C-alpha cells in the first residue's frame, strides 16, 4: 500500500480501496471558494464603511467641561479627600446644551438645571424671529452688536435681542464673557448669512440636481445588487465527477455561503438607501433637521444591527469551517474501507449532535 505525503501537489480521494487523482475536480471549487470569500469581505467592508460615519455623527463631541485629564503617580498618590473634592466639583458643574440652527450646532449655553430648558427655548425663539426677519428683508448685511447690559455682554442682531453671555457660558471655554461674546457674534453672523444664501433659488436648484443624481445612483446600485442577490440564490452546483456524499457536502457549503452573501447584500442595500436619504436631506436647509433626527434615532438600531449581523456571520462561517474540517478528516488514504466507513459514521453522528445543540442555543 502506497503512502501519499500530505504535501503532494495533487489531492487524492479513496473510493472502494482505490486512489484517484482529484486535482482537476477540486481546482475549480478552490477558486470558487476564494472568490466567495473575497466577495463577502468586500461587502462587509463596504457595510462597515457606510455605517461607521452614521454612528460617529450621532456621538456628542466631548467639551472642555467633560474632558479632564488627571495625572496619577505612584510617588504621590491622591488622597481620599482629594477624590471627594474632585467629585464635588464635578457635581457642581451646571449642565450644558447646544443651540441648533438649520440642523447645525452653533454654540453651547449653560445655566442651572431648572433654568436651562427655559433659557434654551428663549434663545431658540429669539434666533428664529431674527432669522425670519432677516430672510424676508432685501438686505444681505447684518448688524451684530455686543452691548453691556447690567455689566453683562449682550448680543443684539439688527437691534433685536438674542442672548446675554454669562460667566458660566464663558467658563466652558476658559475665557472671559467679553471675549466669548465677540466670538459668538461672529458665529451668529456667519450662520445667518450662510442660511440666507442657502435659501436662494439658484442654490436650491443646484442642490436639487445633486440630490437627484444621488438618488438615481443609489437606485441603480440597488437594482444591480438585487440582480446579484437573485443570481446568487439561483446558482447551483454541478459536479458529475464527485460522489453523492461530496455533492451533498459541497451543496451545504455553497448554501451557507449563499446565505451569508444574501444577508450582507440585503443589509448593504438598506444602508445604502439610508445613506442616500440622509445625504440628500443634508443638502437643503429645510430638511437638514430631518438628518439630525434620523441620526439620533438610528444610533442604537445601527449598533444593534451590527451586533446581530456579526453574530449571524459567526454562526454561518462556523458551519463552513466545521464542514471543511469534517471533509478533511474523511479523506484519509491510510484507512481501510471498513475503518473509513466507521469513521464517517462517527463523524456524522458527532456533527449532527453538535449542530442540534448549537441550534438550541441560538
pLDDT at 247: 60
- Between CA 22 and CA 241 the distance in angstroms is 9
pLDDT at 269: 92
pLDDT at 208: 95
pLDDT at 120: 95
User: Which residues does the chain have with pLDDT short of 70?
Assistant: 1-92, 235-250, 252-253, 319-320, 322-362
Co-location of 48 and 156 in the same domain: no
Angle at 122 between CA 118 and CA 123, to 5 degrees: 120
Whether residue 91 lies inside any domain: the answer is no
Co-location of 190 and 221 in the same domain: no
Co-location of 263 and 314 in the same domain: yes
pLDDT at 193: 94
Q: If you search the block for the grid coordinates 471655554, which residue do you land on?
A: 173
Co-location of 184 and 239 in the same domain: no
Co-location of 113 and 188 in the same domain: yes
Structural domain including 23 reads 14-57+214-275+295-331
Co-location of 152 and 116 in the same domain: yes
Co-location of 225 and 192 in the same domain: no
Whether residue 90 lies inside any domain: the answer is no
Whether residue 245 lies inside any domain: the answer is yes
What crossing angle do the helices spanning 299-330 and 244-281 adopt, rounded to 10°? 160
Whether residue 184 lies inside any domain: the answer is yes
- In 150-234 the beta strands, taken as DSSP E runs, fall at 152-157, 160-164
Whether residue 47 lies inside any domain: the answer is yes
Instruction: Express each pLDDT in 20-78 by its tens digit.
Output: 444 444 444 555 555 555 666 666 666 666 555 544 444 444 444 333 333 333 344 45
Co-location of 190 and 225 in the same domain: no
Overall domain count for the chain: 2
Whether residue 97 lies inside any domain: the answer is no
Whether residue 76 lies inside any domain: the answer is no
Whether residue 359 lies inside any domain: the answer is no
Co-location of 112 and 190 in the same domain: yes
Co-location of 138 and 190 in the same domain: yes
pLDDT at 76: 45
pLDDT at 2: 43
Co-location of 219 and 321 in the same domain: yes
Co-location of 189 and 222 in the same domain: no
Identify whether the C-beta of residue 163 lies closer than 8 Å to the C-beta of residue 146. Answer: no
- Between CA 170 and CA 181 the distance in angstroms is 8
Amino acid at each position: 500500500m502506497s503512502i501519499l505525503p500530505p504535501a503532494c501537489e495533487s489531492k487524492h480521494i479513496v473510493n472502494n480501496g482505490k486512489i484517484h487523482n482529484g486535482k482537476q475536480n477540486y481546482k475549480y471549487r478552490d477558486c470558487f471558494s476564494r472568490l466567495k470569500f473575497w466577495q463577502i469581505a468586500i461587502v462587509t467592508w463596504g457595510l462597515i464603511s457606510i455605517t461607521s460615519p452614521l454612528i460617529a455623527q450621532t456621538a456628542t463631541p466631548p467639551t472642555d467641561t467633560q474632558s479632564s485629564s488627571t495625572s496619577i503617580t505612584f510617588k504621590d498618590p491622591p488622597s481620599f479627600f482629594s477624590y471627594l473634592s474632585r467629585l464635588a466639583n464635578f457635581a457642581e458643574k451646571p449642565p450644558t446644551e447646544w443651540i441648533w440652527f438649520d440642523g447645525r450646532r452653533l454654540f453651547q449655553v449653560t445655566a442651572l438645571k431648572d433654568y436651562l430648558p427655559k433659557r434654551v427655548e428663549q434663545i431658540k425663539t429669539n434666533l428664529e424671529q431674527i432669522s425670519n426677519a432677516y430672510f424676508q428683508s432685501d438686505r444681505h448685511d447684518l448688524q451684530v452688536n455686543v452691548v453691556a447690559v447690567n455689566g453683562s455682554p449682550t448680543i443684539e442682531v439688527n437691534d433685536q435681542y438674542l442672548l446675554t453671555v454669562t460667566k458660566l457660558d464663558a467658563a466652558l471655554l476658559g475665557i472671559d464673557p467679553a471675549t466669548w461674546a465677540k466670538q459668538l457674534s461672529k458665529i451668529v453672523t456667519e450662520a445667518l448669512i450662510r442660511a440666507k444664501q442657502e435659501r436662494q433659488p439658484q442654490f436650491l436648484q443646484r442642490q436639487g440636481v445633486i440630490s437627484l443624481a444621488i438618488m438615481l445612483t443609489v437606485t441603480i446600485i440597488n437594482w444591480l445588487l438585487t440582480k446579484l442577490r437573485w443570481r446568487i440564490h439561483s446558482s447551483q452546483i454541478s459536479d458529475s465527477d464527485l460522489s453523492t456524499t461530496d455533492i451533498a457536502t459541497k451543496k451545504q457549503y455553497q448554501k451557507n455561503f449563499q446565505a451569508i452573501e444574501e444577508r450582507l447584500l440585503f443589509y448593504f442595500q438598506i444602508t445604502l438607501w439610508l445613506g442616500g436619504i440622509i445625504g440628500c436631506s443634508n443638502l437643503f436647509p429645510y430638511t437638514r433637521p430631518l438628518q439630525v433626527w434620523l441620526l439620533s434615532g438610528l444610533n442604537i438600531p445601527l449598533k444593534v444591527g451590527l451586533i446581530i449581523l456579526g453574530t449571524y456571520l459567526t454562526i454561518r462561517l462556523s458551519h463552513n469551517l466545521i464542514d471543511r474540517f469534517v471533509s478533511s478528516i474523511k479523506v484519509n488514504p491510510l484507512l481501510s474501507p471498513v475503518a473509513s466507513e466507521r469513521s464517517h459514521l462517527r463523524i456524522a453522528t458527532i456533527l449532527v449532535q453538535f449542530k442540534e445543540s448549537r441550534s438550541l442555543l441560538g
